Structure 1
Amino acid sequence: MRTLFNWLLRGLAAATVLGLGALALGWYLSSHSLPDYDATWRLPGVEGEIEIVRDNYAVPHIFAGSDRDVLFGLGFAHAQDRLWQMTMTRRLAQGRLSELFGQETFEVDHLMRALDLYGVAQRTAARQSEEVGAQLQAYADGVNAWLELVQDEALGRGAPEYFLFAPVIAPWTPADSVAMAKVLALRLTDKASVETLRARLSLTLDDPARLADILPVPPNAVMALPEYAGTLGVAGRDFAALEAPLPAHPLSPLAPPGLAGASNAFAAAGSRAAAGGSLLAADPHLKLTAPSPLYLARLELQSGGVIGATLPGVPGVIIGRNPDLAWGVTASYLDDQDIYIERLAEDDPGSYVTPGGTQAFETRESVIAIANAAPRTVTLRATRHGPVIPGNHFGAASVTPEGHVATLAWTGLETDDRTIEALLGLMRADGIAPAREALELVHAPALSVTLADREGVAIQATGAAPRRGALHTSQGRIPAAGWVARNDWQGYFPADENPGADNPPGGIVISTNNRLTDAPFPRHWSHDWGDSHRILRGSQLLNDREFHTLDSFVEAQTDTVSPAARALLPLIARNLWFQGEPAAQDTIERDRQIALETLANWNGDMTQHSFEPLIYAAWTRELQRRLIVDDLGPLSQLLSRPDPLFLERVFRDVDGASAWCDIRPSTAVETCEDVARLSLDAAILELRERFGGRIDSWRWGAAHLATHRHEVLGRGNWLDWFVNIRQETPGGDTTLMRGLTAADDDAPFANIHGAVYRVVVDFSDPEASVHVLSTGQSGHPLSRHYDDQSLLWRRGEYLPMSLDPAVARGGAVGITRIQPQENDDAR
């Protein structure tokens, strides 16, 4: 026995030593990919010395004698800190993820090959002006300079992830930067998915009138839809198998309905500012990832300094300021996508029906390489409207009858796209007028851009708005018959006719993805909008003060009061408050009374330390589920996040919406009060199971946990604890400090979508302006700059946003100098 024990002990010791050795080796190798911010390099392709000053949070301040060299420096800095993120997005655009991840990403690659997004980017890059092309090339040269140094100097493969995956990195090209913008555009729209969801609902609901309840439409929009199957000339039975959409892969660029881009941006003119200088605040909302999708940088251009958030892979500041102008962006929710259902020719499956007869599909074959498996060849088809959608992406297969295929028309697939030129021009604009002129070149993504110069403010919707005919059979709200001529796009509306406002009388502009225009179809801009409650709270906070300061803008940007909670609780609890007999401790009746009593005195503030937000969130989630599950069945899973507009319609009985309260399979007729009470009891039981039996020990922050997830390494393995950033957060679905809940069964209240960047600019003292990322500058988990801004972000705190070189140099963690190459290639 002693001998066996000794051998077991030795085995354990050996395993421990080997494990520690493996960890040490992994750390040693990974640490070699940490860039040295305090190095000097002699490199080809630069005109003069480039100086990259990294401030205390590793934000690069890039100085050079020409704009070309400045963009070279930005490409170099992006590659140093975000190489893996950039190359992964490029692989996504190219449809080449499966080369690394195997079969699990095949469907994503199949879609991207079908869309030919990278091919579109290549053709778009080739159509740029000589000046824009030169700037794209300068940026690409900077990226490639770092790639060559990594190879020549053995700098740890450039990113630690490349120790786990093949470190084969192709040189960067101008088309790669255009592809980054195209991928962003795809991530910021969900219009195709909303179309198919609306069609599925119309096929499922017995009473078509109820469609306006579950997908509430804004005022003045068309309320009635044509019968979906009827628009295609088929019967409802042809949709016997309502196939569910493919589960979203973490690397997929497609956003489910309601999870596309969102944001807040608002500005006050000098007439509404206490110090007389205009103010601007902006915070774009995207999926929370580690690192953040954005990256801070300051560029010293010939036109002056510019500082703010950049998109790794793209040469420019997309949200920020220069000495004379500040700008923020929000998703404008333009209806920039349509699903067309194409009818196959009866005698020729290689052709489809058009208004002028049959036409052959454009076809091509593409080979998708797959790690640890044989490559697969896919046949890709396209029509006059766009590519045929493979599989069930966008949920299109669920609403496509036999003998038909679904295709996608999308503005992002156009090659006449000068969005990059618009970004480069915006950085150099010295006021609102030239900024708006530059923004007319934006094609995709469609954005609302909030502008402020030293005295005035403006807001401008940008993007190519499809011109649909007034007789379009579905108005773009559901998939349309592709063989009907009046459903075709008729070009685009002129950019100078896009919605906008310049120095309004009130001196304040605001966008929270709310409705931009009351113009009827076809000038409607969109049928679906992203917000109906944040705009109420934002308008209240901005109008409550006659004069604003930087501090009041920060207060509004980080506000955690839920206007939806304030509106809904008096409706769903009005017949439950202050009722019932005294109940014994530790009974569901007693817990219900405690919950109702506390909610009656709650002001709707979704603070992380309170339990009231948790009760409210659980109650409304369960209420939404109970109202729709009997009517929609499995389809209800796509609508599991509580929709305040839907709940309000039901409890106000708008147009008979209280019909949702009756549980159809039961013989009794349930009232809305019955469903509200049962939902509250069920929510309390769920919370007791998840968080313990004492209500006063629950905390919203513990449930509303934000996980900034590494999209490759942070998915269900031991590396989670090293690469994911976890934080308890305040806010909720409808607060200005937005934290959208997951609404799934595993972690229903987790914060998955929120501000990845915040900025507040004050033109009365521009150097006092502030900004912050959701994570940190670096994409390297071993870097202290991987998460050093995340705590500030959670607390609603900021970094200085200064263009003063002395400020950056005063706390610099390193200065990189890039000098023209002479006779030696040495460091």
Structure 2
Amino acid sequence: MPWPLRWSARVLTVLLALVLVLAGVLVYTVRKSFPQVDGSLRLPGLTGTVEIYRDKSGIPHIYADSAADLFLAQGFVHAQDRFYEMDFRRHMTAGRLSELYGAATLDTDKALRTMGWRRVAEREVPELAQETKGYLDAYAKGVNAWLSANPNASDRSLEYSILKLQGGGGTPEKWTPVDSVAWLKAMAWDLRSNVEDEIDRALALTELPRERVEQLYPGYPYDRHLPIVNEGAVVQGRFDQRAEPRLRGNRALADAADTLGDLPDTLGTGSPGTGDRSGLGSNSWVISGEYTTGGKPLLANDPHLSPGLPSVWYQAGLHCRKLTAECPYDVTGFTFSGVPGVIIGQTDKIAWGFTNLGPDVADLFLEQVDGDTYLYKGSRLPLETRQEKIKVAGGATVTLTVRATRHGPLINQVIPTAKPSGEANAVALQWTALTPGRTVDAIFALNKAADWQEFKAAAALFDVPAQNLVYADTSGKIGYQAPGRIPVRANGDGTWPVPGWTGEYEWNAAPIPYDQLPSVEDPADGFIVTANNAVIDPERYKPLLTKDWSYGYRSERIRTLLKEAIKKGPIDTGTMARIQQDTYNGFADTLVPALMEVDLAGPSVQARDLLKTWDRMQGVDSAPAAYFNAVWRHVLTLTFNDDLPAAARPAGGDRWYEVVRRLLEAPEDPFWDDVTTREVAETRDDILRQAMASAHQELADRLGTDVKAWRWGDLHRLELVNGSLGTSGIGPVEALFNRGPLPVAGGKDAVNATGWNVQNDYAITAVPSMRMIADLSDLNQSRWINLTGASGHAFHDNYWDQAEAWARGELLPMRSKPESVRKAAVHTLKLTP
């Protein structure tokens, strides 16, 4: 071999060896943090032996003889699989992300320090029940036992090793009960009702007169889409399911509500870095055993949140070996890593699910600030002020001065879209979650509830975020309860920012009493559906919950499918799963006929012809779904983007269904006119024609000219992005932690609610973050699926092993009986004192 070739071969050999060494180091570093799941471990603080069984999906079932041991072990297991996620969350809720990531997250930290989530949690913990505080302490001991056993960055998680290379991360502090409670504030913010609408209304008002802004917030269509509760009224200070108020016949409904803007992007708690809340919602329904194969109720739930990796949920079973007053827990369901107990799930006697009730629990007050004072009822009052020190990795500590009025913290300096107007020069946020509450007490009460009355008593403790709670039990009862701390206003309806200096828009000292909140048990039609639709007709119920509901397209579709299933009967878990996977577009029957009536020429005609035989389903292989959604995107952007500031433009979804439905009947409405074409006044048909042509051109460019070969799944894709380093901007780092994309069926207001933002692309921004179907005839036959997997460790077998099954609409066994848990176990770990 000539010497140049010999030399080249030697260099190549050396390089290959280096690559193999580096690969070996990476594999070692990655696997070093994987948890021990077999054998035995000593765990300081335990009083007895604990057994942890994991199935092939890595889902743990924990068995203990005392409640304290149970929650201590839960803390240990959460830390094994998800400690970095937990640590990231506590840094976020405390406004300390910059300690990890430097100046890139400084704006987010400023916003969170201003609102003071952690400060509220610090005040909340001492007010909790003594039993709850004991469980929080036990959970923290479990987390800290894991931390003590894993002192090095490489022992804890791959993320810490990378942060260490970048000079960040440091040594995590011990876990505390405040860390657990603060995370619930983040979830409350993610589900905070209409603050964005309030901001958007105010922003739109800078470009349009008020009557045209109000066109964009039409009233809830009670005549077409039923609310959740269709019986009962408040009588003598209590909600009475049997009471019937005097109802008027056909009536014009109250106008819908309004709200405020966006925090920095990293505040999307489900998926930091997206900041897009379009599509956040949920479905749940419960059906009486009268209509089921097992003769007992079935309950379904799929909360819609921003996607993230790992998923916001963590599946687990928490089981006292012998149920006693001292150890009353036998519960399986979805947990939050960092928080003890089960959030949604089933016990040995009941099952429950959540959807966002969405009451108006936050108001924006416009303030007149002068120096260190603000105006209130003709007097100048001192602002409350405090200094916040924000440490920045790789930079100097930043000092933030937080100021507040009686209405809450001034947010306009940290949330740019919250702009004062008129006589005001500042904006304050009043929000129920900034007052200490008892939601953590509610979690433990729900986890041991054995019947409807105990469930209702537990729900009474659930203040924020206010949720629709559906219920079923093994005796056959089904029910619904609206809980939450919902303010009563002296004036106004919470839809627009209001002047704070007049004192006319104050909240009453007490919220709506729990006994007055809507509640139903065993309704006459045998099922209950909640999908963020209106809770109850305002003619039936006078306390104002909100005017900004989801508009009922999902809920009405679920009701229709349930009624069809009842006729065919009986209903089983397979029927419930098929309803969860329904992809029907509820607005197509309105828009498609209008599109067909428009004069159209050229190649766009062939694309429009796809809609002639379309079944309105949005499967991944559907060409008509791809074209219809592209047309819908262009209809919205062509109609509204020229009229509205960027932050108030449509993202899509069922509010815009109602807006466009009305505009289709007004072909000369000013919204159809493109104000950028000064010489032309466009009408409805001009915009629809342009939308179809633009959609055809876009898809031809992206998917090819053969319209029949287009696939919705080639546009509508899910990228699973790691909640922290997955948005680092460093390609190799992102490749370590992110997964996908996956083609996914559905759409924003289909039952299979995979949301997307028309302003950006067809990429998925909100998902059914988990799915559960509880079978009360045999709780061991219940089914579930998580978005990603149990593990938070990149490259672990359970990091995202449920994702492809989730995308296909499959469910896994939700085992809860000890014999089936042990039979399915592939790992067994024994913890000893």
TM-score, normalised on structure 2?
0.89
Determine the structure 2 residue equivalent to 1:435.
455
Determine the structure 2 residue equivalent to 1:560.
583
Identify which of 150, 158, 161 aligns with 1:160.
158
Determine the structure 1 residue equivalent to 2:735.
721
Q: Which moved more, 1:516-525 or 1:173-182?
A: 516-525
Determine the structure 2 residue equivalent to 1:702.
714
SS of equivalent residue, structure 1 residue 53? strand
Q: Please give the per-residue CA displacement for 1:338-384, whole angstroms capped at 9, x wherever unaligned.
A: 11111114xxx110011261111111111111111111111111111
Cα RMSD of the aligned pairs, angstroms, is: 2.4
SS of equivalent residue, structure 1 residue 459? strand
Q: Which moved more, 1:667-676 or 1:264-273?
A: 667-676
> Which structure 2 residues correspond to residues 216-231 of structure 1 after superposition, within 5 A?
216-219=218-221, 222-223=254-255
Letter in 1 for 2:305: L
Determine the structure 2 residue equivalent to 1:467.
488
> Which structure 2 residues correspond to residues 22-421 of structure 1 after superposition, within 5 A?
22-151=22-151, 156-165=154-163, 166-206=169-209, 208-219=210-221, 222-223=254-255, 248-249=265-266, 258-259=277-278, 261-301=280-320, 302=323, 303-345=328-370, 349-355=371-377, 357-393=379-415, 395-397=417-419, 399-400=420-421, 404-415=425-436, 417-421=437-441
Letter in 2 for 1:466: P
CA contact (8 A) 1:450 1:459 kept: yes
1: distance between equivalents of 2:289 and 2:403? 55
Q: How many residues align?
A: 778
TM-superposed deviation, 1:55: 1.6
1: distance between equivalents of 2:582 and 2:424? 52
1: distance between equivalents of 2:149 and 2:279? 37
The reply to whether residue 574 of structure 1 matches residue 591 of structure 2 is: no
Determine the structure 2 residue equivalent to 1:481.
499
The reply to whether residue 691 of structure 1 matches residue 732 of structure 2 is: no
TM-superposed deviation, 1:451: 0.7
TM-superposed deviation, 1:214: 2.1
Letter in 1 for 2:266: H
SS of equivalent residue, structure 1 residue 81? helix
Q: Please give the per-residue CA displacement for 1:397-420, whole angstroms capped at 9, x wherever unaligned.
A: 2x44576211111111111x1111
| Structure 2 unaligned regions, length at least 5 | 164-168, 222-251
Q: Please give the per-residue CA displacement for 1:591-613, whole angstroms capped at 9, x wherever unaligned.
A: 32222211011011100011111
2: distance between equivalents of 1:225 and 1:162? 45
Letter in 1 for 2:255: M
Determine the structure 1 residue equivalent to 2:241.
none
SS of equivalent residue, structure 1 residue 625? helix
Determine the structure 1 residue equivalent to 2:545.
525
1: distance between equivalents of 2:720 and 2:276? 21
1: distance between equivalents of 2:447 and 2:679? 65
2: distance between equivalents of 1:616 and 1:328? 33
The reply to whether residue 504 of structure 1 matches residue 519 of structure 2 is: no
Q: Which moved more, 1:286-295 or 1:213-222?
A: 213-222
CA contact (8 A) 1:649 1:657 kept: no
1: distance between equivalents of 2:646 and 2:293? 54
CA contact (8 A) 2:153 2:161 kept: no
CA contact (8 A) 2:720 2:738 kept: yes
Letter in 2 for 1:488: E
Determine the structure 2 residue equivalent to 1:239.
none
- In structure 2, the CA distance between the partners of 1:196 and 1:365, relative to structure 1 (3 Å rule), is same
- In structure 2, the CA distance between the partners of 1:402 and 1:257, relative to structure 1 (3 Å rule), is farther
- In structure 2, the CA distance between the partners of 1:131 and 1:570, relative to structure 1 (3 Å rule), is same
Letter in 2 for 1:731: G
2: distance between equivalents of 1:314 and 1:597? 52
Letter in 2 for 1:210: R
Identify which of 429, 436, 445 aligns with 2:465.
445
Q: Please give the per-residue CA displacement for 1:50-87, whole angstroms capped at 9, x wherever unaligned.
A: 11111221111110101111111111111111111111
SS of equivalent residue, structure 1 residue 391? coil
Q: Which moved more, 1:53-62 or 1:716-725?
A: 716-725
1: distance between equivalents of 2:707 and 2:423? 53
TM-superposed deviation, 1:10: 5.7
The reply to whether residue 762 of structure 1 matches residue 775 of structure 2 is: yes
- In structure 2, the CA distance between the partners of 1:405 and 1:65, relative to structure 1 (3 Å rule), is same
1: distance between equivalents of 2:462 and 2:609? 52
Identify which of 618, 622, 625 aligns with 2:634.
622
Letter in 2 for 1:793: W
Query: What is the percentage of aligned positions where both structures have the same residue?
Result: 30
Letter in 2 for 1:627: T
> Which structure 2 residues correspond to residues 11-30 of structure 1 after superposition, within 5 A?
14-30=14-30
CA contact (8 A) 1:363 1:381 kept: yes
Identify which of 658, 663, 675 aligns with 2:687.
675
SS of equivalent residue, structure 1 residue 489? coil
2: distance between equivalents of 1:168 and 1:568? 57
Q: Which moved more, 1:759-768 or 1:435-444?
A: 759-768
2: distance between equivalents of 1:318 and 1:17? 50
Letter in 1 for 2:813: P
2: distance between equivalents of 1:275 and 1:618? 43
1: distance between equivalents of 2:395 and 2:443? 42
1: distance between equivalents of 2:432 and 2:263? 23
TM-score, normalised on structure 1?
0.90
CA contact (8 A) 1:250 1:711 kept: no
1: distance between equivalents of 2:286 and 2:668? 38
SS of equivalent residue, structure 1 residue 425? helix
Identify which of 662, 666, 669 aligns with 1:658.
669
CA contact (8 A) 1:536 1:563 kept: no
TM-superposed deviation, 1:617: 0.7
1: distance between equivalents of 2:590 and 2:139? 50
2: distance between equivalents of 1:358 and 1:223? 36
2: distance between equivalents of 1:526 and 1:148? 48
Determine the structure 2 residue equivalent to 1:238.
none
SS of equivalent residue, structure 1 residue 450? strand
Letter in 2 for 1:555: R
Q: Which moved more, 1:800-809 or 1:100-109?
A: 800-809
The reply to whether residue 608 of structure 1 matches residue 620 of structure 2 is: yes
| Structure 1 unaligned regions, length at least 5 | 229-242, 581-588, 821-827
Determine the structure 1 residue equivalent to 2:235.
none
CA contact (8 A) 1:512 1:531 kept: no
- In structure 2, the CA distance between the partners of 1:224 and 1:299, relative to structure 1 (3 Å rule), is closer
Q: Please give the per-residue CA displacement for 1:285-312, whole angstroms capped at 9, x wherever unaligned.
A: 1111111000000011333521110011
SS of equivalent residue, structure 2 residue 705? coil
SS of equivalent residue, structure 1 residue 267? strand
CA contact (8 A) 1:278 1:456 kept: yes
TM-superposed deviation, 1:811: 2.7
Q: Please give the per-residue CA displacement for 1:428-487, whole angstroms capped at 9, x wherever unaligned.
A: 111222101110111111111111112121111121001111x33xx2111111112121
